[in-house]
Amino acid sequence: MSTGAPGSFADPRTHAGAGGDAGAGAVAGHWIDAVYRVRAAAAGIGARAQAIALEQSIEAPLAAVRDERVLREVVAQVGDIAPAGARDFDVTIRIAVETTGFEAGQLLNMLFGNTSLHDDVTLVDAVFPAEFAQGFGGPAFGIAGIRALTGAAGRPLTCSALKPQGLPSQELAKIARTFALAGIDVIKDDHGLADQAVAPFGQRVREVQRAVDEANRATGGHSVYAACLSGHYARMREQVAIAEDCGVRMFLVAPMIAGVAALAALAREANAPIIAHPALAGAARIAPPLLLGRLFRMFGADATIFPHAGGRFGYSGDVCNAIAAAAREPWHGLASTLPVPAGGMSVERVPEICAQFGADTMLLVGGSLLAARERLAERCRDFVTAVHGEAR
């Protein structure tokens, strides 16, 4: 009996050549190609790759598998192993789609569940069969749906956030009214607004939606309020029902806190676009373009917020471009997801951000508007004017 070497499932002797010839399991649409960047010495990368393949599929040594079908069609297979810089390798692991049960949480489990506990590995990419991605359905509204809802055509959209948390609902509603009067397209709850006592969810969404509605009537505009959902999925569904009764037509969800299964279900059920927030996304270990771009899109996010370069977070301009590309590029016929650069943006950066991302983008400027204090309305108008001006 072999229990495998300590620290590894790897036993390359018994699995040689599996990556090269997938045999009967290699039917179209059978595999997801996941790419991991692995820090390893050249001499050990083959065994490390095989260990990842086992960890992310059957979670057992090959010696424990007696079933021929499991060996052929269920055990993940090692594909390409390519050097990536001096100390890393990019390892492609072919994961059987059947192991995901076609469910969002289980897909994340199969892509990175146990391997997230290994600090020598980052999940950098995943290539899905078309019918697999289509099975999830992607954004129900997407960029076109958000444009239709806000009446914003042919230009970048504008967005700001209701904060700070701790204010009572009426005070948040006043800020929302100022945003809406200035013509900001999407007014979202700060992702820290949950169901706190000082501004309970039901009271807050009623007050804020009313303020936005009144401002829209005054201006003839179409500002949309996006309410932040929190708690488990059943609680979120209750919140959706409460909010929709108040006329709310857009929602904010943090999928890595809520669980991606909740995002996937809400995207199919809520009759409103959903903005994904990156909280707890721990981007150092799953590549942001994959997680915030492609995966959140596949699970149904209509817009995806990401920390843009030059703000409070360390993402590079290239990473941000890659997130936007993953969100928007044609992909298996799914609707596009609206990229939302954020995280310390300012009105002064509007021309540069618009130049980088083009029209199919929503600019989110939050705290720096509120820092204008009594000149908030003026600063909001500057923001809107700057973005609209870029489209001319």
Residues 371-390 close enough to bind a second copy by CB under 8 A = 371-373, 375, 379
- Among 12, 129, 192, 358, which residue sits at the site for a second copy (rule: CB under 8 A)? 192
Q: Is 173 helix (H, G, I), strand (E, B) or coil?
A: helix
Which span sits near a second copy by CB under 8 A: 53-61, 176-184, 244-252, 320-328?
A: 53-61
d(C-alpha 168, C-alpha 373), whole Å: 17
Please list every residue from 322 through 351 that binds a second copy, using CB under 8 A: 343-344, 346
237 counts as binding a second copy under rule CB under 8 A: yes
By rule CB under 8 A, what count of residues binds a second copy? 101
Q: In this structure, are residues 39 and 78 in contact, taking their beta carbons and an 8 Å threshold?
A: no
Please list every residue from 59 through 118 that binds a second copy, using CB under 8 A: 59-61, 63-67, 69-70, 73-75, 96, 98-101, 103, 105-106, 108-110, 112-114, 116-118
- Among 368, 381, 385, 388, which residue sits at the site for a second copy (rule: CB under 8 A)? 368
Q: How far is the CB of 148 from a second copy (least distance, A)?
A: 28
- Among 93, 258, 272, 290, which residue sits at the site for a second copy (rule: CB under 8 A)? 258
- Among 40, 49, 270, 283, which residue sits at the site for a second copy (rule: CB under 8 A)? 283
Q: In this structure, are residues 58 and 70 in contact, taking their beta carbons and an 8 Å threshold?
A: yes
Nearest to 11 by CA among 39, 53, 74, 67: 53
Q: How far is the CB of 304 from a second copy (least distance, A)?
A: 13
d(C-alpha 327, C-alpha 207), whole Å: 32
311 counts as binding a second copy under rule CB under 8 A: yes
Considering beta carbons, is residue 250 or 309 the nearer one to a second copy?
309
Name residue, tokens 């618009």.
Answer: 354
Residue 355 CB neighbour total at 10 angstroms: 9
Q: Give 274's strand partners.
A: 251
Q: Give 188's strand partners.
A: 161, 226
DSSP H/E element including 79: strand 77-84
d(C-alpha 79, C-alpha 50), whole Å: 10
50 counts as binding a second copy under rule CB under 8 A: no
Please list every residue from 140 through 179 that binds a second copy, using CB under 8 A: 161, 163-167, 171
DSSP character at residue 99 = G
Considering beta carbons, is residue 35 or 283 the nearer one to a second copy?
283
- Among 233, 332, 381, 385, which residue sits at the site for a second copy (rule: CB under 8 A)? 233
Which span sits near a second copy by CB under 8 A: 12-20, 35-43, 186-194, 319-327?
A: 186-194
Tell me the residue type at 200.
P
Q: Give 33's strand partners.
A: 94, 127
Residue 275 CB neighbour total at 10 angstroms: 28
Please list every residue from 10 through 49 that binds a second copy, using CB under 8 A: none
